[in-house]
Chain A
Amino acid sequence: MLDSAELKNQLRTFICRELIRNPNYPLRDDEPLVTGGLIDSFAIAQIGVFVEKAFKVYVPDTELTVDNMDSVEKMAACVLASAQKGR
């Protein structure tokens, strides 16, 4: 079972290091990522790859949307939902 807090931690670390390119960026869990200009639509696909590799969860393309990916909180909820369905 995926732990929500751990999932958010790993997503936050990945986003700051790989997508914002600043490991020290003080990212809040509710901070708008796409609409806030921190990441772009390309990064949405990259989140999909990261989640597949790190957690063995395949988030369907239909769920990889700006609405579902616009904050660490939303992402984590979406990944957990996909993991539930994938069982």
Chain B
Amino acid sequence: MTTSPPIDYEPLDRSATLIEAFERSRIDPASLAITYIETGCDPVRTTRSEFAITARRYAAAMRAVGIHPGDLVLVAHEDTMSLFYSFWGLLLMGAVPSIYTIPNERLFPEIYMANVAALIKDIDARALVTSDALAEQFANRIPCPVTGFSRVLEALPEARAAVPAPDHRAQPDDLAYVQTSSGTTGNQRCVPTTHRMVLVQLAALARRMDVRQDDVVANWMPLYHDGGLILGAVMPLLCGVPVVMMSPLDWVRHPAILFHAIGQYGATFCNMPNFAFNHLVRRVRERDLEGLSLAGVRAFVNGSERVYHTSFEGFLERFGPLGVTRDRLGVAYGLAENTLMAAHTRTGDPLVYDAVDRRRLELEQVAAPVDPAHSDAVINVSCGPPLEGVAIEIRDDDDRPLPERRVGQVAIRSGSLFTGYHRRPDLSADLFRGEWFLTGDMGYLADGQLYIVGRLKDLIINGGKNIYPADLEEIVSTIPGVRPGRVAVFGVPDEAEGTELIAVVAEIDSEDPEVKAEVGRQIRRAITQQMSLTVSFVDVLSERWIIKTSSGKTSRVANRRKWLEGRAAQG
């Protein structure tokens, strides 16, 4: 285990902006900042001074292509390093970056384009910077200027030319970036994030993680995700520790690349959503583990979606022999509205499980301890105590604080909390109670630890991605043959995958099995092409199956229960 000194907190504690925090760092400029690794390619190593110079060149290039200080700029690009240089360059010149997901081979280009156009309008972006291929398709079809990436590269000043630091000076409460989110077109819940919010968050988070000078972060999470951007890029830079970056697409197809980051490049911290633990357990090949030790890792931290204790147990079983122990597994609970995290375990503390009575949890909303071996025990995993500077309360339906071990909605008050969704304060107005924010997540507190057990929001979290079932129901309803309004989409918790899988039930008139199979194919294809999601279960039925509420709405809870009971009956 490491014995190196803690990082220097002065830049995080005393800087006004992210830029200043980087500049204030007393870390040797010749030390390593980023190692970018990719399957089939040589690693690219970047020192802190190289990063600083390149980011300044990007800042100058962004000015040269017509972006002004204060402009909100949407950036969508598949290359992780170009994306991060664009982000930092835009910060340097005083623009406000917002990183958006990129299309892939499955998503329909027309749909992606419509989403981007709607987002640009919603967030009032003044420019889109993207790949040349997309820029060409987008030209004149969206309500702001589009810049292809080769124009940015052509505008980069010579590497050897001395590029002056831009003269723009941001203030702590200026917007640093806008965090985009999933969500229905026109209802994007984007989080305007200020410099102060990020610095307050990082100062608390780095202390809770106990980041040391010889730590190395590994990150494959996408930069359009708050975890990928802040934990996997900004935090290492401002804490003065190196990061090994990977492309999320590469990692999904070749999960062992994360272990190269550990084995070859000495990574000690890795934060990822729950499903990633299962992905590694199930889809790393034996050959890729030959000669590997994971004993140098201080923490694999599970954040971003519901945490399953079975995911940790599977991880320990497969990778325990390589050096993973219970005290090197961490858990975090967070939300972009609070910049990133709200609770986080302490590095080095062993995992804490809480076995509670399932019946009392469901019927009385009480987390009553039982023997973990009890047949009706539910094992919840502690997300740790709230971060320093974050207060957490559990509230009932009437907004009254609840005592320990009573389940209610998680409310937070914090120095890194946002003040409302970007240009859509109407969507967040109902969620504030004075300084408190209602998260929509359900949980309880016990011995100062936070446990999450569910959520109020009608939402599926699949592979760390937030999905609104109504969006998918709308897509399925447009498929010819599907009875209008007779569609139900819901999430099915799956322990093997460690995430919620997507199930679709649709009613059609035909009883012909071939017609049903064809409609099933169309449902999968449509959801993939329009949302880039994979549906795990499709039931196309001719009988009346779907349960509606008395007001005629599809009851997702009732349909899910019926579906699960049906599966259980089939064995």
- A interface with B by C-beta (< 8 Å): 21, 25-26, 34-42, 44-46, 48-49, 52, 58, 61-62, 64-66
Most A Cβ at <10 Å: residue of B255, B521, B534, B536:
B534
Of the A-B pairs whose beta carbons lie under 8 Å apart in the complex, a sample of 8, sorted by A's number, is: A26-B517, A37-B529, A38-B534, A42-B283, A45-B284, A49-B285, A61-B253, A61-B256
- Give the residue of B39, B526, B536 whose beta carbon is less than 8 angstroms from that of A61: B39
- Cα–Cα, bound, A45→B252 (Å): 7
Question: Which residues in A have their C-beta under 8 angstroms from that of B286?
Answer: 52
For the A-B complex with A34-B105, A65-B253, A66-B253 known, give 17 more contacts whose Cβ atoms are closer than 8 Å. A21-B536, A21-B537, A35-B528, A36-B528, A37-B524, A37-B525, A37-B529, A38-B524, A38-B534, A39-B534, A40-B534, A44-B253, A45-B255, A48-B285, A61-B40, A61-B253, A61-B254
B106 within 8 A of A: yes
A52 interface neighbour in B287, B525, B537, Cβ under 8 Å: B287
Asked whether, in the complex, the Cβ of A35 is within 8 Å of the Cβ of B106, the reply is yes
Instruction: Assess the A52–B527 pair: CB atoms within 8 A.
Output: no
Taking the complex as formed, is B295 at the interface, i.e. its CB lies under 8 A from any CB of chain A? no
> How far apart sit A37 and B195, CA to CA, in the bound complex (Å)?
40
> Chain B's interface: helix, strand, loop or mixed, by majority?
helix
Bound-complex Cα distance A35 to B534 (A): 10
* Residue tally, chain B, CB below 8 Å to A: 31
Cα A41 to Cα B463 with chains together (Å) = 12
If the complex has contacts A26-B517, A37-B529, A64-B253, are A46 and B39 also in contact, measured as CB distance less than 8 A? no
- Alpha-carbon distance between A39 and B517 when the two chains are bound, in angstroms: 16
- CB A34 to nearest CB in B, in angstroms, measures 7
Digit string of B267-299 for contact with A (CB within 8 Å is 1, else 0)?
Answer: 000000000000100111111000000000000
Bound: A56/B533 CA distance, A: 31
- As a 0/1 sequence over residues 14 to 40 of chain B, the CB contacts with chain A under 8 angstroms (1 = contact) are 000000000000000000000000011
**Cβ B283 vs Cβ A49 within 8 A:** yes
> Could you give, for residues 292-324 of chain B, a 1 whenever the CB lies within 8 Å of some chain A CB and a 0 otherwise?
000000000000000000000000000000000
Q: Is the CB of A49 within 8 A of B282?
A: yes
What separation, in Å, do the CA atoms of A22 and B257 have in the docked complex? Answer: 31
Contact between B39 and A62, CB atoms less than 8 A apart: yes
In the assembled complex, how far is the CB of residue B521 from the closest CB belonging to chain A, in whole angstroms?
Answer: 7
Q: CB of B165 within 8 A of chain A?
A: no
| B249 on the A face (CB < 8 A) | yes
How distant is the Cα of A21 from the Cα of B525 in the complex, in angstroms?
Answer: 16
Residues from chain A with Cβ under 8 Å of B282 in the complex: 46, 49
User: Can you name the residue of chain A whose Cβ is closest to the Cβ of B535?
Assistant: A37
